[in-house]
Structure 1
C-alpha cells in the first residue's frame, strides 16, 4: 500500500475560544452601533476586527502523510463430524480454495482463517456438544479490531448449535463491529434422513422396577419404523413405532450400578448417516430398602450383635424373631403362653416368603416349630433366586442340625459332628484371596502371613461339598463358605463367635465389613461378583477389568462401534483381578467378550446434539446473516461467488456475490504544518484595514 496525503486546516488559538467569542461579540455590537449611526468606515472597522480575530485563532495548514491499514476478512470452516456426510467436505474445500484466490486478489485485504475441528479429538471433554461454530468465530475475532473487520464468511452445512437469539442488529455479537456475516451452505436442499430423538432418558432407577424412556422417530417418509431395545448389549425387545409420534417405553432396571441402554431404529431410505439412528444412555440402578428376616435360635451374646449390625443400616428393613424356647423343652406351659405373639410361620414362610431379600438363621436348631414343609419352601425360595445366610452354633453338629432338614439340600457344608473349642485366628484361604468378598479385608495382612485380627474360640467342623471356602479356621477347616444354588445364593458361617470381633476381643476384626460384603454378594452386587467382566470409559480410553477365581485371565475381544475388532491382553494387578487399558478415538458403544462373559462401555458422548439432525439447512444461520446485512448461498448452486467491496451502510450481499465492508482505515506516518497567517502578513493586513478606516472617516 502506497502512503497517501490529506490536507486540512487546523486552529491553535492564542487565547481560549471563550475569550475570542467574547471579543467577537463586543466587536459585533460596536459595529452594529456604528452602522446604526451611519458612521463612515464601518466596513473597514469590520475588516480590522476580522483580521484581529483570525490572527488570534492562529490557523495553519496541516498535511498528513497517511498509510492505509488492511481490512481483515475472516473465513470460518466447519469441519465437525456431520461434515463427513456425502460430499460436504469436498464442496467446502472447493469453496475454500476459491475464496482464498479471490480474497487474495483484493487490494488492502488481509485474509484470516479459523477451523472448527471434528469433535472426536475432544473425547472426555466437559465442553458442550454440537457444532460450536459461532464460538470458534468469536474466538478468532478477539485478535481483530472491529474497525478493521471487513466481513466473515462461514463455510458449514448449517447445523450450528450455538447461534445466539438475534432479533435485530443490536443483538449481534459485539466482536463483529457492524461487519456483514455470510454463510456458504454445503450439502443439498431438502435432504432426507431417518433419526431417533431422545425426549426423556432416565438416569436413575430402583433395581427390579420399571423406568420410562420417551423417544420419537423422525422420517420424511412417514409410516412406522422398527426399533430395537438393548440393555448392556443384550437385546430386550423389538417394537414397531409410528414415525413422528412420541413413544413411552418402559425399561426394567436389572442390575445395581450402570445399565447401558441403547435404542436403535432400522435404517430408512436415502439415509445420510446411521449415527443418529441410535439413542444411548445409562441408567444407574439403586437398590430399594432391603427386607431381611432374621430368625435367632437359643439366645447368646452374639444375638444382639447381629440385630444391631442390621438395624444400623438405614437401607435395611429388619424383621427379627427369637425362639426363646422350642416346644421340645416341654414343661406343660400352654403353647399360647410361650410367646408374646403367635409366631406367624405360615405368613412368613409361605405367603410372604418371596418378599424378603435375605433370610438369616442365627444358631437355629430344627424342631417342630418350623416344619419341614416350611424349610422346603425356603429351599425352593433360594433356588428361585433368594438369598440365605446361616450362622451355626454347636447344635449344628447334633441331630437337631438344620442340615438334617430339607434346607440341607441348599447348604454347601455338611457337619462332621465335632465342635472345636480352641483359639484360632480366621485366615483368608487361597481362593479367598481372589474372591471379592474376602480379598483385601482390613487387617488381613499379606498372603501367607497371620492377619492382625482377634481370635475366635469355637468352630463347628464341616465338609465342604459345594461352593468356595473363602475363610478358614482352626486346622485350616472351612469357616465361611459361599455357594450358588440355582438362581439364588447361600453363605454359611461355621462359628457363632463373629461377635467377638465386634466386642474388640484381642483387638477385634472387620466384622461390619465382612457381613456387609457377604450380604451384598448374596444380593448379587455387581462389584462383588467373583466372575465378572467390566469396561469403564475414562475420557479417551477404556479400562477393562476381569475378576476370576481362576489362576489365569482369558483374552478379551473388543468390538468398536464401526465393527472393527481388537484383542486385549490383561495383566494381573492383584490375585484374581486383571486389567487392560485401550485408547479409543471414536465415541459410541464398545462391546467386550472373553468367550464366557460379555459387557459394554459407552465411550465419551456420542454427541446426540451433533447428530440429532444432520440435514443441511440455512434456517439456523439466516437470522445472523440478515441482521448483519450478509447473505446465504448454497454451494450446490455456486461455489465461486463474486467478491465486492462496499461502503458501510450499503447492501453487502446478493444471490451470487459477497460484500466486504471497506473501512478505509489508516495510520498517520508524518505531519507537515504551515501557518496560514504569518506575523508580517497579519501586521500588513491590520495596518491596511485600520488605515483605510481612518482615511474613510477623514473624508
Structure 2
C-alpha cells in the first residue's frame, strides 16, 4: 500500500520568508494595478522564487494496513434457551461468521456472555455490554469497527455502559426471537423478610399476560407452603392480589407459587415464584417445675434466662403437703401455686414444659398430669430431668406422664462417676451430632456423678452414661416431642467441674428439636444457595447415598449424586444455569432452592425486544434486525467510512478506519534548486527588458 503527500521544508525560516514573500507580492500587485510594463513577468518570477524558497518535495510512504477489530457477542443467558432461540442463534452465528470472513481487513472476536460463569448475577441478568467492552479492552479506539450483538434483547447493563461507547463504532443488535411474542408471568410485588411464628404473613402477587391483552381474566394460582399439600386460588390477571398465610415454624419458611399457563406462553419458568420468610418467635414461653431445691435447680433457670427471648415461669416445690409443722398455709409461699391456671387454662400457651427432679407428692394431681400428656400428644414439647426419686414408687413414670416417657426406671440409681458419651446414633442425630469429634463419642468434658438406670423401650438413645446405660432419650409422641435426661447432674458442666461441658449448646439444640425447628429434624432434605451453586444436604439417622432428583425452572430434570459426610449428613452440589425455583426431591422429602432474587430481571419479561438496547444503538449509529426463518438469513454486512450511516434496510455496517503502519518513506524534491533559480532569474530579466522597451 502506497501513500503520497507533499511536504514543505523552507530554506529560510518561515518567520522571515512569509513577511518577505508578502511584501514582494504586494509590490508586484501594485505594479499590475498601475499597469506597469513587465508586471506579469515580475509576478511570475517572484512566485517561482518564493516556491523555490519553500523547498517542496513529494513524500512517498510505504504503508502496511492494520486490521480493524469487530466483536460479535453471543447471548447465552437463560432467556435464550426459550423455544428455538438457541438453535436460531447458532445458525445466525454461522451465517455472520461466513460473511465477516470476506473482509480481509477485519479481525473478528467472538465472545459468549450470560452463560452463568459470572456467578449469581450472571444468571439473574444479562450483561452483554460489559462482555463486549471487556473483549476489546486491549484495542485502541481508532481500530474498533463496531459490534454485533446476537441476543433476544433482554440486556440489563445498557445504561451503565453508555459512557464507554464513545468512538466504539456502530453497535448492532440481531434479535433471535419473533416480533409477535406473548407470555404470562407471576410476580411477587411485595413480601416480608421476617414473620412471627404462629402469626399470619401477607404478601402481594400479580399475574400479567404480556403484552397486556389478558387483563381482567382469571388465572388459577397454586400455593405450596414448606412442601405441604397445595392450595388453589383464583386471581384476576393484571391486578395486585394480597395473600395471607400462617407462619408455622421458625427459620426459613418457603411458599412456592405457580400460575397456570396463559393463552400465549414462551416459558413456564416465570410462571413460578417463591416467598422466603424467616420465622422468628416473638417470645418463647417455658414452664419449669422443680420438684425440690437442689444444686442444679439454678442451672436450668440461668440457662433459660440467658436467652432474652425466653419468658420463663419457674416454680419450685419447697414443702410437701404431707409435712405438718404448724406453719400457716398463707405463709407457705409468697404467692399461691396457680395449679389450675397453669395446667388447665393456659397450658397450651407454653412452648416447652420442663419437669426437673419432680416426684409425685400430690401437689399436681393426676388430672393435671394427664393434661400435660394430652398437651404433648397435640403437639407440645416436654423435657424430663430425672432425680433419684424417679427410681422409686413416687416416680413420675407412675403417673399419667409415664405414657409419654420413652424410658422406664429399673429401680437402680448408679452412684459412680462417668463421662456422658454420644452414641453411634447420637453422632448422626442433629441434637448431639458434632458435640465431639472423638471416635468413642466422649468429648473433653467433665464427669457426672449420678445416673438413674432406665430401660429405653422406644425413642432414640443419643447419649449414654454409666455402664453404657441410656442417658438422653428423644422420642416423638403423637404430634409432640419428649426428651428424657436420666441424671440430675447436668449442673456440673455449668459449674465448670473438671472443665465443664457443652451444656448451653446441648440445651439450645434440645429446645429447638422439641419445638420442631426445621434445622434440627432427623430426617430432612435441605438446600443452601451460594451464588449460583446449590448445596443439597440430606440428614438421616442411617447412611443414605441415594441420588436426588433436581428439576430446573425450565423443567429440565437431572440426578445429583450424594456423598455421606458423616454426622448424619449426605451432601451433593450442582451449579444452577438459570435463576428461579429449583425443586429437589429424593422420593420422600422435597425441598426448593431459590437461585438469584425472587424476581430476577432475566425472567421479568422474556419477550424479544430491541427497546432495552435502543439507547446504545442510537448512541453509536447502529440498528436492530430481526432474524427470519430458521435464523440463517442475516442482514447484509458492509464496511462504511467513519461518519457515514452504518445501518439501513436489510444491511448493517462496520466502520472502516483505514489505520496503517508506515514501513518506509521516500522524499523527492519537486523544484530542483538550479533550474528553478535560472527560471526565476530569466523571468525577472524578461520583466526588466519589457520595462526597458517602454
- TM-score bucket of the superposed structures, by smaller chain: 0.7 to 0.9
Instruction: Indicate yes or no: 2:198 matched with 1:208.
Output: yes
Whether the aligned pair in 2 keeps the contact of 1:541 and 1:581 (CA below 8 Å) is: no
2:301 corresponds to which residue? 307
The 2-side partners of 1:565 and 1:694 are apart by 105
Q: 1:376 to 1:584 in 2, by over 3 A?
A: same
Q: What aligned pairs does 1:449-488 form with structure 2 within 5 A after superposition?
A: 452-488=444-480
Equivalent in the alignment of 1:149: 144
Question: Is 1:446 paired with 2:439?
Answer: yes
Q: 1:53 to 1:336 in 2, by over 3 A?
A: farther
After TM superposition, list the pairs within 5 Å mapping 1:266-665 onto structure 2: 266-280=260-274, 282-442=276-436, 445-447=438-440, 452-536=444-528, 543-550=535-542, 553=544, 555-561=546-552, 572-574=564-566, 577-581=568-572, 583=574, 586-587=577-578, 588-594=581-587, 597-602=588-593, 604-605=595-596, 608-636=600-628, 639-665=633-659
Once the two structures are overlaid, the 10-residue window that deviates more, 187-196 or 44-53, is 44-53
- Distance (whole Å) between structure 2 residues aligned to residue 200 and residue 218 of structure 1: 15
SS in 1 for 2:258: strand
Return the alpha-carbon distance in structure 1 between the equivalents of residues 61 and 563 of structure 2: 77
- What is the aligned partner in structure 1 of residue 662 from structure 2? 668
Q: Given the alignment of the two structures, is residue 185 of structure 1 paired with residue 180 of structure 2, yes or no?
A: no
- SS of residue matched to 2:409: strand
Distance 1:457 1:586, change over 3 A: same
1:240 deviation in Å? 0.9
Alpha-carbon displacement from aligned partner over 1:196-232 (angstroms, at most 9, x marks no partner): 2232354444443333333211123341111111234
What is the alpha-carbon distance in structure 1 between the residues aligned to residue 337 and residue 612 of structure 2?
72
Q: Deviations over 1:380-439 (max 9, x none)?
A: 222221112222323334454333433333223333444343333333344434433234
Q: Is the 8 A contact 1:65 1:668 kept in 2?
A: yes
Check if 1:110 corresponds to 2:106. yes
Gaps of 5+ in 2: none
Q: How far did 1:598 drift?
A: 0.5
Kept in 1, the 8 Å contact 2:405–2:482? The answer is yes
Question: What is the aligned partner in structure 1 of residue 3 from structure 2?
Answer: 5
With normalisation by structure 2, the TM-score equals 0.85
Alpha carbons 1:123, 1:539 under 8 Å: kept: no
Conserved 8 A contact 1:179-1:661: yes
Give, in angstroms, the shift of residue 281 of structure 1: 5.2
1:221 corresponding residue in structure 2: 214
Residue pair 1:555, 1:568 contacting (<8 A) in 2 also: no
Equivalent position of 2:154 in the other structure: 159
Paired with 1:416 and 1:537, the residues of 2 have a C-alpha distance of 49
Say yes or no: does 1:77 pair with 2:68: no
2:647 match: secondary structure: coil
Q: Distance in 2 between matches of 1:85 and 1:456?
A: 65
SS at match of 1:235: coil
Task: Go from structure 1 to structure 2 and tell me whether the alpha carbon gap of 1:312 and 1:94 turns closer, same or farther (over 3 Å shift).
Answer: closer
Q: 1:431 touches 1:469 (CA, 8 Å); kept in 2?
A: yes
Matching residue of 1:59: 56
Using the alignment, how far apart are the partners of 1:483 and 1:87 within structure 2? Answer: 55
Q: Deviations over 1:246-303 (max 9, x none)?
A: 2222344434444443211112234222222211454444444422222223222222
Change (3 A) 1:318 1:17: farther
The count of corresponding residues between Structure 1 and Structure 2 is 683
Counterparts in 2 of 1:235 and 1:17: CA distance versus 1, 3 Å: farther
Q: CA RMSD in A?
A: 3.9
Q: Structure 1's 465 and 74: CA in aligned 2 closer, same or farther, altered over 3 A? A: closer
Instruction: State the distance in 1 between where 2:118 and 2:222 align.
Output: 27
Q: C-alpha deviations, 1:154-178, integer Å up to 9, x for none?
A: 333223233227xxxxx84544626
Residue in structure 1 matched with residue 232 of structure 2 by the alignment? 238
